[in-house]
Amino acid sequence: MVTLRQPKLTVYSLEVRHGESLDNLKSVWAGWKDAPLSNHGKCSTQARAAGQSLSNVHFTAIYASDLLRAYTTAQAIHEAQSEPKPPLTKSTLLREQHWGIAEGQPWLLGTKPGISVEEHFAQGIYPVLHERWQKFPEGESLEDVVKRAEKAIDEFVMTHVWEAARQGRKNTHIALVSHGICISELIPVLVMKDASGQHPGHRWRGLLNTAWTRITVNVKGSKEGEPMAFTENNLPPLDVQVTDFNRSDHLASMKRQKGGIGSSAYDPKQQDIRSFFGGSAKPTAPEGRSESNAHDEADIEISE
């Protein structure tokens, strides 16, 4: 269980990565391609374990990417909440980076010598891009993802921060259920709301499936039970801190189901049929880190 201290007028923003999806088990570019969770990601309790670990934190609101792997994870968290359950809202703002024509295509860590990136694309080869402005045709760059992240933070977090301050209310907890790369951009966008205004860098990468990150937002000068008066043009300063990153305690006892069932698509109506038909188990990566995810957000050099 997660224990959150309750200092005055703190808004907690928890960024939660989705459970393992079927595309996570392939070495393909998986952004907006809407792959479902694997059995291991859902009924084998990655997502459910995450929901249970957060069940003693009553969220004011839960926001999720509308892509199936994230929204299904958010539903598991929502189901574990006590009554009255918080509203669960899906949004395209929280989607993963869009890979354009590379969606569903194999990724390549390095480029072939002697040919340009554009020539790679023309040949149907899609290597990892190392500059924040780069993108595949019809897709998004990291700079594009930042623009979405800014809108998401303002709409899904900051509205709750200012409302809590105006009402003099504490105990506001917001959950954003999204994707590894999107979360790695959401975090610095929120941290930059700190009074210092300094960009913290892009160091929050390599998220495990269903791992969560907690950010606290304190309105300076606020006190519980004392509503604050301010305007949109004269907002009070904030103290924003990342207190937990990539927390995955709930994965410690997780084990993939044998016979390949854990790597199958999650189907609530056929939880046992896969074991009847059997199948060979695929080699697995460390818990929470699927084979292709190992290179989603970790071990990739991105120019700052």
Strands 172-178 and 61-65, how do they pair?
Answer: parallel
pLDDT for residue 83 is more than 90: yes
Share of the chain above pLDDT 70, in %: 72
For position 251, what pLDDT does the model report? 76
Q: Mean pLDDT in the chain?
A: 78
Q: Which of 18, 78, 160, 179 is catalytic?
A: 18
Residue stretches of the annotated binding site: 17-24, 69
Domains of the chain, start order:
8-97+140-255 (3.40.50.1240), 99-131 (no CATH)
Omega within 30 of 0 (cis) for the link into 36:
no
pLDDT at 221 over 80: yes
Could you tell me which residues are annotated as the binding site for substrate?
17-24, 69
Report whether 224 contacts 9 (CB < 8 A): yes
- The pLDDT, as a whole number, for residue 37 is 55
Higher pLDDT: 36 or 64? It is: 64
Q: How do 10-17 and 126-127 pair as beta strands?
A: unpaired
Q: What is the pLDDT of residues 237-269, one digit of tens each?
A: 999 999 999 888 887 766 655 444 344 444 443
295 belongs to the catalytic site: no
Q: Which residue has the tokens 């402005």?
A: 133
Catalytic residue among 96, 103, 185, 287: 96
pLDDT band at 301 (very low <50, low <70, confident <90, very high): low
Indicate whether 115 pLDDT > 70: yes
- Separation between Cα atoms, residue 240 and residue 131, nearest integer Å: 28
Assess whether 18 carries a catalytic annotation.
yes
What's the whole-model pTM score? 0.80
pLDDT in tens, 21-56: 555 555 778 778 776 555 544 444 677 788 888 888
